[in-house]
Amino acid sequence: MTGLSRTGSTGAHGARERRVRTGGVELCVAELGDRSAPTVVLVHGYPDSKEVWSEVAPRLAERFHVVLYDVRGHGRSTAPKPLRGGFTLEKLTDDFLAVAAAVSPDRPVHLVGHDWGSVQSWEFVTVKRTEGRIASFTSMSGPSLDHLGHWINERLKRPTPRRVGQLLGQGAKSWYVYLLHTPVLPELAWRGQLGKRWPRILERVEKVPGGDYPTSSLAVDAAHGAWLYRDNVRARLRRPRPDAYAHAPVQLITPLGDTFLSERLCDELERWAPQLTRRVLPAKHWIPRTRPDQLTAWITEFVMSVEGGTRAAGAATGKYAERFGGQLVLVTGAGSGIGRATAFAFAEAGARVLAVDRDAEAALHTAELSGLLGASEAWAETADVSDERAMEKLAAKVAAEYGVVDVLVNNAGIGLSGSFLDTTPEDWRKVLDVNLWGVIHGCRLFGRQMAERGQGGHIVNTASAAAYLPSKSLPAYSTSKAAVLMLSECLRAELAGQGIGVTAICPGIVNTNITSTARFAGVDAAEEKRRQKRAARLYGLRNYPPEKVADAILRAVVRNEAVVPVTPEARGARLLSRLMPGALRAVARLEPPL
């Protein structure tokens, strides 16, 4: 029998709480948002309670009717008696159906699960009796036990070195599962020192901020939750269901730094979930606490795509779509060249693209084309990166209207050629204002927003092979780019502890319009024009496309690379700068071919 009693109480963030009776337990259920909107049900994992969602739920409630409940034996829900046999997947499914009937009796719900919340939600979305009650499922850090059982059996039946390595790797990550099967020991540990130290462990190892999580019920929740493993893991892995196919669209969010689960567990998931959207996130296990903004964006996009009958943005076919779909990417100097190509590459990956350039028309054109290429959203903003006040206004506007940037590409730059003695102080100011101060302004303003949000991010600074390749004809330009390279290295060290990566991109000769706008010190206007045309012709003959630099930028963010020489000559010069710096100094004395 399933019953419902309304308490009328209000919980954190204005949530409405009620009690749902099912199978001899009472579940504490909280609701936020408009009940007429699509319902999103959040299911927590181990050893958590529903408060693990306290950063995600209010954000989702701006668009949806959000429901979160304490799993039986956790938080403010009661525990079954006896505990043994009271946490089977069948009974957890009964609980879910009772909650769904109480909060959304007439419409299917969108299900979101983390850790053991995801494990049990895989059961919900693959059993026959829930068909029609689930509109979509977002899974993070918790595989189906049936799928895991088949994954293990296939590797045991047909072992190869690669498959054996995968088994051993996941076996090592699952060390805690073995301990949770031991009698009494987990309960004693959680009620003792482990329970006391757990918040500090999460903060230090997982970078999980404090606040209202974890709650004072942690020790009891963890002790009860051990039965989730004891009642289900061995039995289901031994006899996985052969028909565990998802009957609703599934979004899989994989944190790449998950301490407990290997990425390889989901390699063949399309077999079980035909309507699958994949996402990846450079984060550790507890992403509901460390990446709430990104999860909110992805869940919102996925739910709205299912509600609207359209394909999810995460299903974009561009390179790295799993990684950048829905992320906010700002590119300066996006009106042409490497900046435009980079904006397009992120657009094809399904990102939200913000094209910034001092040329308003060029920025708008880049934004319009980005929208056509697959960007989930695209906008244009006008700013001169060398203008401190203009950049401050831009940063404030971006934060207020678009949100905190996930990836910042400081790309805007100008060229300047000429000997040191011919380069005037005004020439120096112009090149340093754009090439160096423009990067400093971007890093300072948007980097601070990333750091204050506390959810990671990445900064890409476009330097140049000239940063480590001395030349008698490029003293000002090379100095500005060398400064960008060192700034990037220093900033990378400072921000690493906050989950923010920093990359310096160092292209060599790339066919862009920088040659036609570059200035030449110490010559008259006619000679400058002649040299610009000759430089453009030489770069055109080299014909290294900016699209290759853009691809290197996306790859560098995915891999969190520090310094990335792009063209063959840039890579060669980087190697020589380390092994034979004297050779580079000798080359620097040669006359330029201009």
The catalytic residues are: 477
- Within 8 A by CB and 6+ apart from 188, the residues are none
Q: DSSP 3-state assignment of 122?
A: helix
Residue 135 phi/psi, 5° resolution? -85, -35
ω into 47 cis (within 30 of 0)? yes
User: 405: number of CA atoms within 13 Å, CB side?
Assistant: 29
> Is 276 within 8 Å of 269 (Cβ atoms)?
yes
Kind plus residue range of the DSSP H or E element containing 101: helix 89-103
Residue 444 phi/psi, 5° resolution? -65, -50
Diameter over CA atoms, the chain? 92
- Strands 519-520 and 407-410 come out as unpaired
Q: How far apart are CA 551 and CA 406, in angstroms?
A: 18
The residue assigned the tokens 């009661």 is 78
The residue assigned the tokens 């000769």 is 509
- Within 8 A by CB and 6+ apart from 424, the residues are 521
- Cα-based angle 324, 325, 328 (whole degrees, multiple of 5): 70
Q: Which two tokens stand for residue 299?
A: 């869940």
Q: Which two tokens stand for residue 416?
A: 């300047």
Q: How far apart are CA 178 and CA 182, in angstroms?
A: 7
